[in-house]
């Protein structure tokens, strides 16, 4: 019985290690659909709002546990990785300036549902952006 418990614990640690250390493929995640309209999905959210990419980039870079995966303001598109506090699950958010609008696509990497985490994060960022 002790061996089974030990094996389960080792498997759980290995899984958590993979979640934290798995490489992030910029070619897979640094993309944005041609048409981005506001939509809530099980694993993320899309928004299209009026705004400035540089201002939103400043807000996102202040987010804890968030770093740039690829892109820049100068390129007109940026993808960020935000990791959950406890287990380090990665969520990817891609934003791009499209005329006067910003297109946003936030999504999870693992699982099927993010329980609204990406929507809440994006809505918080947009609320800060509207206050500026």
* pLDDT value, residue 52: 96
Q: Is residue 52 part of a domain?
A: yes
Q: What is the CATH number of the domain that holds 92?
A: 3.30.310
Does residue 8 lie in a domain region?
Answer: no
Q: Is there a domain that residue 37 lies in?
A: yes
Torsion angle in degrees (nearest 10) through CA of 42, 44, 49, 53 = 180
- Report which of residues 15 and 39 the model is more confident about: 39
What is the number of structural domains in the chain? 1
What is the tens place of the pLDDT at every residue in 49-72? 999 999 999 999 999 999 999 999
- Whether 48 is in a domain gets the answer yes
pTM of this structure: 0.89
pLDDT of residue 122: 98
Our measurement of the distance from residue 89's CA atom to the centroid of its chain's CA atoms, rounded to an integer in Å, reads 10
Report in angstroms the alpha-carbon separations of 96 from 49, 57, 73, 113.
Answer: 11, 10, 8, 24
Residue 46: inside a domain: yes
* Residue range 98-118, pLDDT digits in tens: 999 999 999 999 989 999 999
> 109 in a domain, yes or no?
yes
pLDDT of residue 105: 98
Owning domain of residue 34? 25-131
pLDDT score, position 64? 96
């Amino acid at each position: 019985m002790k061996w089974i418990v030990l094996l389960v614990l080792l498997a759980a640690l290995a899984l958590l290690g993979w979640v934290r250390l798995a490489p992030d493929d910029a070619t897979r995640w640094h993309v944005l659909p041609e048409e981005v309209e506001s939509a809530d999905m099980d694993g993320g959210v899309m928004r299209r709002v009026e705004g400035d990419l540089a201002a939103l980039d400043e807000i996102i870079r202040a987010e804890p546990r968030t770093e740039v995966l690829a892109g820049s303001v100068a390129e007109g598109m940026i993808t960020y990785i935000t990791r959950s506090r406890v287990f380090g699950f990665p969520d990817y958010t891609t934003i791009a300036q499209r005329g006067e609008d910003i297109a946003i696509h936030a999504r999870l990497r693992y699982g099927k549902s993010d329980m609204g985490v990406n929507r809440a994060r994006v809505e918080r960022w947009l609320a800060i952006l509207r206050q500026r």
